[in-house]
Chains A and B, each alone.
Chain A
Amino acid sequence: MAEAVPSQPAGEPIISCRDVNKWFGEFHVLRDISVDVAPREVVVVIGPSGSGKSTFIRCINRLEEHQSGEIVVDGIELGNDVRNIATIRREIGMVFQQFNLFPHKTVQENITLAPMKVRGWSKDKAEAKAKELLNRVGIPEQANKYPGQLSGGQQQRVAIARALAMEPKIMLFDEPTSALDPEMIKEVLDVMKELALSGMTMIVVTHEMGFAREVADRIIFFDQGRIVEQGTPEYFFENAQHPRTKLFLSQIL
């Protein structure tokens, strides 16, 4: 399978996973996952549901705890040390399938909360950043609305802006378009593309094959908690070797 990994990153990885294992009770969700992600790399994770891809990226900012193996993010090992977890979460932004905006706060407050409370920014600085980010995701006029007043696509763009406000080094996307109406998927993907082009390190769990083909540096295919195959988009979509990958691709393409 060595030729199947033509673009294993060169240089120092920003995320490094070695033999990560996790169980939910008796159920073995992640089996010996070893992945390195280089800075500025865009990694797309695909796979059938229940294959452990979401669990994998949730382990990276420790929303889930792995039970064996080693995860090193930005030179810091994720263990039980609370300070390490706090430091790492500060550097990793995450976007969720269900947006998870704070419904009792306005869009602007959603974005400024963490920079002010965690990074200790002044209100002015945080609000300037919020304004800049809302411009970047294309909804500057919604700053004083509540999340409930926005469409799904707008909410997800706010969620991206909220994550970016912390100026993270890495962004994790957990099926960011799965809860959206087809008409709104594009506006979110456009923002993500722009983000990828700007050089952000991204790990994206998605079923958007078009996005994967266009933006990804590398595609990782998960099945039954295992990385079955990975490679560049060209390799992956035209030359995948593993029968499980072929079956999956034949079903969704």
Chain B
Amino acid sequence: MTTFNEQHPAHIGTTVINEAENVERQPPLLAVGPLAWIKKNLFNTVWDGLLTIIVLLIVSSVLVSFVTWTVGQANWYTITFNIRLLMLGRYEPEYEWRVTLVVLLFAFTIGLALAAWSRIGRGFATFIAVIIALTFILPVVINATLPLPPYYASAGTFKIGGDNGQAPQGQIGFTGKAGETVTVQLADQYDGSDAELAQVHSFADAAVNTALNAAANRLIAERRVAELTALLATDTLTPNQRSRAEGELSRLTVPPPVTETLMLNQVPVTVSILHGTTMEPLENGVVTFEDADALLTVTLPEDGWYVLKKELDDPQAISILETTGIYPILERNVTRGGDDSTPATGSISQYVRMTDTFTTEATRPLNEEGKELPFIVVTSNQYRGTAVLNDYLRLYVAPFLNQIKVFLAFVFVVGAVGYIAGRALDRRFSPSNRPHATTSRLVLWLLIVLPVISFILIYGLTGDSGFLPLTDTRRWGGVLLTMLLTIVGIIGSLPLGVLLALGRRSKYPVISTVCVIYIELVRGIPFITVLFMAQLLIPLINPALANFPGAFRAMIATVLFTAAYNAEVVRGGLQAIPHGQDEAAKALGLNGLQVTLFITLPQALRLVIPPMMGNFVGMFKDTSLVAIVGLLDLTGMAQNIVSQTEFLGLRRETFMFISIFYFVFSYVIAAVSRRIESTGAGQAIKTQI
């Protein structure tokens, strides 16, 4: 048996010195790359692979149906029409500049803040620039390359679909811009088969829609008859099944082809385009169509109303015309004036063209009897059938971008100016050991001052007239109200929450008991209840408060409610500060207030940034509950819009849009909070005040 030392004689009585130099070495090259990643993470075992495939299948099917709906079926004009309502509510248009100014001030401050606490990479700047450029270029490209789908108008006098059906309208109003071209021709595919008819997707007036539906229904019936006949021809049916199939077959009737019964495009039709005020035909504005080759082309002389007049001699025939340059219109009422300085001008009708939101306020044309002519209404002329990507881009994307592009560009340009200004300020004034001191100090001051300025700008200052007249809080709505509630909520609830947290930890029993009761009481009540109390109970308790604006009541409710949650978060932060901090500060002679103010609270607040931001995101989303107490915040406005007849049935589109808005904003807050945690902006706040 040998001992260890006999086996390793070098160790006996020797000193071992490692004289190797430290040489920098790379880690071994692993199998890296996308394929290796996929293999390792997605298909590591059979079960992993199975799970991956199942999840991918589910996700892709959801995604496919969502995209199909978004692009192919949704009627997004509820958004393009109502974008102002959704953003500002019914905020006085003449004061709209104030809200714009507030947004730009915030954009400037955010630019400054980024200069102080972050760095914008070339990539990010390029990305933003490309986005902005796209909002300008895309609509132009779309409008230039993709034609608008035609509008199908019917001519004739008898009702399609019998006595209960729709009769074509002899004269119909439409709006157009100077220089636009309007063309009319016979819709040639309409004298073809029902199958062609059923596949038409475009704008069509009510009578044409009826014809299209009739063709589609006839085809369905025809197909079902063929199916049943084929079924009965086989001998595999049980007697029961056979009798059921026979019964269904006997109930089915297949009407003759729509194209035949309606005598579509068989009779000459005279079409004229009249000026909306003079009711005189435009130059070259009258054509009688006898065959498919005839074409009417006019150029509109000015912005405003025109009339499409259709005359058909045979009372039993119908013609369908394919037009370009004529599109459905939405009528909306706008209230002008109404404050003391300008006399009320009352309600004005605006006529908005669906395809590009071209808006006119000119009065509608009148017929011979002095009655207002009907116009091509959005509701009865919704885009029908499964749309295609072209139409989605042309009808919804381009008008939407056209409405937001200038504002968006302004916001980003002002933000960029703020960023550049911040960098320049720091280069000029900041000491070298704290290169961002000047800008971050400026940002902190702005963050304190800006909310006050913004509120004064939006609400007003000087009564009914003067420099900044008061605005009507009942007209606040949409994103404006949502953001006001959120920002006031944050600014109010943060200090209140801190005070409550400190109070709860106070060694004076009266204060701590009051704080505990308040916090636990509020946390035990649903927010909606607090809102109802604020809206309904306050006037009961004190009648003098009956006229206190509902928006302000909701703000107070938000502040009081969120403060209780903030208090608990801050208390958690205070508890997490080691006791030694408190002792060290006391041992230095600081008094209780100083210890809290300079030592424990700053550390606690920095610690609770993530949960606090979580609270604020929650509060931002909870502001949607004010819709239930009758305020028209983003959610309330959406509800309001979908309850209007023009937008009936467009719930999905409207709520999808506001969901996207809520998500994007919440995500931005969360991202900013992660950024604050990681970049040490919280540090800057505390060291530089």
Min CB gap A60→B, angstroms: 10
Query: Could you give, for residues 401-427 of chain B, a 1 whenever the CB lies within 8 Å of some chain A CB and a 0 otherwise?
Result: 000000000000000000000000000
Contact with B along A164-176 (1 / 0, CB 8 A): 0010000000000
- Closest B residue to A105 by CB, please name it: B687
Partner of A104, one of B585, B591, B594, B687: B687
Inter-subunit contact B588/A109 (CB<8 Å): no
Identify the closest chain B residue to A159 (Cβ): B584
CB distance from A161 to the nearest CB of B (A): 12
Q: Cβ of B687 and Cβ of A113 under 8 Å apart?
A: no
Contacts of B606 in A (CB 8 A): 104
Report the stretch among B379-387, B596-604, B634-642 that lies at the interface: B596-604
A114 proximity list for chain B (CB < 8 A): 588-590
B223 interface residue per 8 A CB criterion = no
Whether B164 is near chain A, meaning CB under 8 Å from some CB there, is no
Q: Quick one: given A104-B687, A118-B589, are A63 and B599 in contact (CB under 8 Å)? A: no
Q: Does A121 count as interface, using CB distance less than 8 angstroms? A: no
> In the complex the two chains form, is B589's CB within 8 Å of A166's CB?
yes
* B586 CB contacts on chain A under 8 angstroms: 63, 89
| Inter-subunit contact B590/A118 (CB<8 Å) | yes
Smallest CB separation, B576 vs chain A (Å): 12
Contacts of B580 in A (CB 8 A): 96, 98, 100
Interface residues of A in 155-204 (CB under 8 A from B): 159, 162-163, 166
Max chain B C-beta neighbours (<10 A), residue from A94, A114, A144, A166: A114
Closest to A165 in B: B588
User: Within the complex, which residue of B433, B584, B587 is in contact with A102, where a contact is CB–CB below 8 Å?
Assistant: B584
B686: interface (CB < 8 Å)? yes
The answer to whether A94 and B587 have CB atoms under 8 Å apart is: yes
User: Counting chain B CB atoms within 10 Å of each CB, which of A90, A100, A114 scores highest?
Assistant: A100
Contact with A along B461-493 (1 / 0, CB 8 A): 000000000000000000000000000000000
In the complex, which residues of chain B have a beta carbon less than 8 angstroms from the beta carbon of A163? 587-588
- State the CA gap A202–B603 with chains docked (Å): 31
Name the CB-closest residue of B to A117: B594
| Contact of A232 with B by CB under 8 A | no
Asked if A89 and B588 sit within 8 Å, CB to CB, the answer is yes
Q: Which of B581, B589, B683 has the most A CB atoms < 10 Å from its CB?
A: B589
State whether A96 and B583 are in contact (beta carbons under 8 Å apart), knowing that A102-B599, A104-B602 are contacts in the complex.
yes
Q: Report whether A104 and B603 are in contact in the complex, using a CB–CB cutoff of 8 Å.
A: yes
Chain B interface extent, by class: 20 to 34
CB <8 Å contact, B683 and A89: no
A159-B588 Cα distance, complex, nearest whole Å: 11
A144 touches B589 (CB 8 A): no
A249 at the A/B interface (Cβ < 8 Å)? no
Nearest-neighbour CB distance to chain B for A53, whole angstroms, equals: 17
Check A117/B598 contact, CB under 8 A, given A103-B603, A105-B687, A163-B588. Answer: yes
Residue pair B589, A90 in contact (C-beta under 8 Å): yes
Of B584, B590, B591, B598, the contact of A100 (CB 8 Å cutoff): B584
Cβ–Cβ < 8 Å partners of B578 in chain A = 98, 100
Say yes or no: is A230 at the interface (Cβ < 8 Å to chain B).
no
Known interface pairs A103-B603, A104-B683, A106-B687; A117-B590 also in contact (CB < 8 Å): yes
Q: How far is the CA of A101 from the CA of B585 in the complex (A)?
A: 9
- Bound: A59/B606 CA distance, A: 32
Q: Would you list which residues of chain A between 56 and 106 have a CB under 8 Å from chain B? A: 61, 63, 86, 89-90, 92-94, 96, 98, 100-106
CB closest chain-B residue, reference A87? B589
Residue of B nearest to A62 (CB): B586
**Chain B residues near A118 (CB-CB < 8 A):** 588-590, 594
Q: Which of A61, A86, A102, A144 contacts B581 (CB 8 A)?
A: A102
Q: Report B506 CB to chain A, min CB distance, Å.
A: 15
Q: Which residue of B lies closest to A106 (CB)?
A: B687
Inter-subunit contact B598/A61 (CB<8 Å)? no
Taking CB atoms, residues of chain B closer than 8 Å to A63 are 583, 586-587
Complex: A252 Cα to B371 Cα, angstroms: 112
- Shortest C-beta distance, B340 to chain A (Å), equals 53
Alpha-carbon gap, A108 to B304, bound state (A): 73
Q: What is the bound-complex CA distance between A94 and B585, given in angstroms?
A: 10
Query: Complex Cα distance A166/B580, Å?
Result: 19
Interface flags, A103-128, vs B, CB<8A=1, else 0: 11110010001100110000000000
Task: Write the nearest CB–CB distance from B372 to chain A, whole angstroms.
Answer: 71
Asked if B587 and A89 sit within 8 Å, CB to CB, the answer is yes
Minimal Cβ-Cβ distance residue in B for A98:
B580
A104 touching B686 by the CB < 8 A rule? Answer: yes
Q: B587 — nearest CB in chain A belongs to which residue?
A: A94
For B645-676 the 0/1 string (1 means CB < 8 A from A) is 00000000000000000000000000000000
In the bound complex, do residue B687 and residue A166 qualify as a contact, i.e. CB atoms below 8 Å apart?
no
Kindly state the separation between the CA atoms of A117 and B585 in the bound complex, as whole angstroms.
11
Could you tell me the distance in whole angstroms from the C-beta of A48 to the nearest C-beta in chain B?
23
Specify which of A61, A101, A106, A113 is in contact with B587 (CB 8 Å cutoff). Answer: A61
A98 to B578, CA, bound (A): 10
How far is A81 from B181 in the complex, measured between Cα atoms in Å?
93
Contact between A113 and B583, CB atoms less than 8 A apart: no
Chain A, 117-161, CB within 8 A of any chain B CB: 117-118, 144, 159
Q: A100-B581, A114-B590 are in contact. Are A144 and B687 (CB under 8 A)?
A: no
CA distance A166 to B585 in the complex (A): 12
Within 8 Å CB of B589, what residues of A? 86, 89-90, 114, 118, 166
Q: Which of A101, A104, A162, A166 counts the most B-chain CB atoms under 10 A from its CB?
A: A104
CB distance from B301 to the nearest CB of A (A): 72
User: B597-624: contact bitstring with A at CB < 8 Å (1 yes, 0 no)?
Assistant: 0110011001000000000000000000
A133 nearest CB across to chain B (Å): 14
Residue of B nearest to A82 (CB): B591
Q: Compute how far the CA of A82 lies from the CA of B578 in the bound complex, rounded to whole angstroms.
A: 24
Q: Which residues of A contact B687 (CB under 8 A)?
A: 104-106, 109
Q: List, in ascending order, chain A residues with CB within 8 A of B686's CB.
A: 104-105
Residues of B within 8 A of A94 (CB): 584, 587
User: Hey, which chain B residues are within 8 Å of A100, CB to CB?
Assistant: 578, 580-581, 583-584
- Measured CA separation A105–B581 after assembly (Å): 12
- Distance between Cα atoms of A92 and B598 in the complex (Å): 20
**How near does chain A come to B601, taking the closest CB pair, in angstroms?**
10
CA distance A118 to B590 in the complex (A): 6
Residues of chain A with a CB closer than 8 A to B602's CB: 104
Proximity string of chain B (428-462) to chain A, C-beta cutoff 8 Å, 1 when within and 0 when not:
00000100000000000000000000000000000
CA distance A166 to B583 in the complex (A): 16
* Bound Cα distance A94, B587 (Å): 6
Q: Are B587 and A92 in contact (CB under 8 A)?
A: yes
Residue of A nearest to B685 (CB): A104
Q: Which residue of A lies closest to B434 (CB)?
A: A144
- Kindly report which residue of chain B lies nearest to residue A114, judged by CB atoms: B588
CA distance A176 to B594 in the complex (A): 25
**Chain B residue with the shortest CB-CB distance to A143:** B433
**Which residues of chain B have C-beta atoms less than 8 A from A96's C-beta?**
580, 583-584
Q: Name the residue of chain B whose CB is nearest to the CB of A172.
A: B587
The contact sample of 19 A-B pairs, CB cut-off 8 A, is A61-B587, A86-B589, A89-B586, A89-B589, A93-B588, A94-B584, A94-B587, A98-B580, A100-B583, A102-B581, A102-B584, A104-B606, A104-B683, A109-B687, A113-B598, A114-B588, A117-B598, A118-B588, A118-B590
> Could you list which residues of chain A lie within 8 angstroms of chain B, going by C-beta atoms?
61, 63, 86, 89-90, 92-94, 96, 98, 100-106, 109, 113-114, 117-118, 144, 159, 162-163, 166
Q: A61-B587, A89-B587, A117-B590 are in contact. List 20 more A-B contacts (CB 8 A).
A: A89-B589, A94-B584, A94-B587, A96-B583, A98-B578, A100-B578, A100-B580, A102-B581, A102-B599, A106-B687, A109-B687, A113-B588, A114-B588, A114-B589, A117-B594, A118-B589, A118-B590, A144-B433, A163-B588, A166-B588
In order of increasing CB-CB distance, the 9 nearest A-B pairs are A100-B584, A114-B588, A100-B580, A94-B587, A118-B589, A90-B589, A89-B589, A104-B686, A104-B603
